[in-house]
Amino acid sequence: MPFRTFEDKIAFVTGATSGIGRGVALAFAREGATVIGCGRNITRGAETQRLVEAEGGTFLFLPMDLGDETQVTGGVRTALDRYGRLDCAANCAGVDRSAGFLDYTAADFDCIFDANVRGLFLCLHEEVLAMRSGGGGAIVNVGSVAGQRPFRGNSLYNASRSAVTMLTRSVAAECAEWGIRINEVSPGPVLTPMLTGHLESTAQTDAPMTAESLAAGLPLGGILSPQGIADSVLFLCSLQASKITGATLVADGGFVLG
C-alpha cells in the first residue's frame, strides 16, 4: 500500500457538507485520516459521508451550527470521546451576503460575523483545548483574499475575513508553546456553491460576472477547485510544514496580483 500522509490521524473539518470543506474532508480521508465532518445540512453531510466511504475512507458526520456554542463544544468533545484525540482541524465553514454598504442591516452583520468570526473562535477554542491535552496538533483556518483586498458590495464579508487573519496569527502566537500550529489558507475564486450564488446575484446588475470572466482575470488561468484548496490545507497540516505557524498561504491563482 502506498504511503499516506495522514494514516491513523484524526481530522476535524467544519463546513464539510459542501464546497471547500467537503473537498478537505475527502482529501484527508484519501490520505488515511479518520475524518469528523461538521455542518448544518444533514442531507449534504450524508452525501459527503457517502463520497468518503465510496473511496474506502472513514467519516463521521456531526450536525453542527457554528452559532450554537453548545453544539460546537459538543462536536469536538464527541470526537474526543470516540477517538481519544484530535491531530488536525480545518475550519472551512463560512457565509457571505453581498450588498452595497448602505443596504446592509444589523441582522446581516450578525449573520456574517456570527459564522465567520464568532463561530471560528468557538471552534478554535475547543480544538486548542483538545490538542493541548493531546500534546499538540495542526489547525488551518480557511479565510479569503477578500480579507486582504477590498471588494465592492462585500464590505462585511471583507471585514470578517480580515478578522480571520488576525485571529489566526494571534492564537498561533499563544499556542506554539503547546506544540499547536495554526495557519490560514486564503483562497481566491473557488468553484463552490457560495461563488455560484454570488455570480447569480450579479446577473441582473450593470456589471454581471461569470465563471469565465473570473477565470480570464487569473494570471495562472482557471478558477480554483475545492481540491486545489484542500491540497494547501493538507500541506499546512503535514510534517512538511512543521515549522510554519501564524502564516497565511494565499492560494488564488494570482488573483490578488491583478
* Residue 37 and residue 17 in contact, taking contact as beta carbons nearer than 8 Å: yes
- CA atoms of 99 and 83, how far apart (whole Å): 43
- What DSSP string describes the chain? ----TTTT-EEEEESTTSHHHHHHHHHHHHTT-EEEEEES-HHHHHHHHHHHHHTT-EEEEEE--TT-HHHHHHHHHHHHHHHS---EEEE---------GGG--HHHHHHHHIIIIIHHHHHHHHHHHHHHHHT-EEEEEE--GGGTS--TT-HHHHHHHHHHHHHHHHHHHHHGGGTEEEEEEEE-SB-SHHHHHHHHHTTTSSS---HHHHHHT-TT-S-B-HHHHHHHHHHHHSGGGTT--S-EEEESTTGGG-
Q: Which residues are catalytic?
A: 157
Displacement of CA 235 from its chain's centroid (Å):
14
- Cα distance from N-terminal residue to C-terminal residue, the chain: 43
Q: Which residues are paired to 181 by β-bridges? A: 138
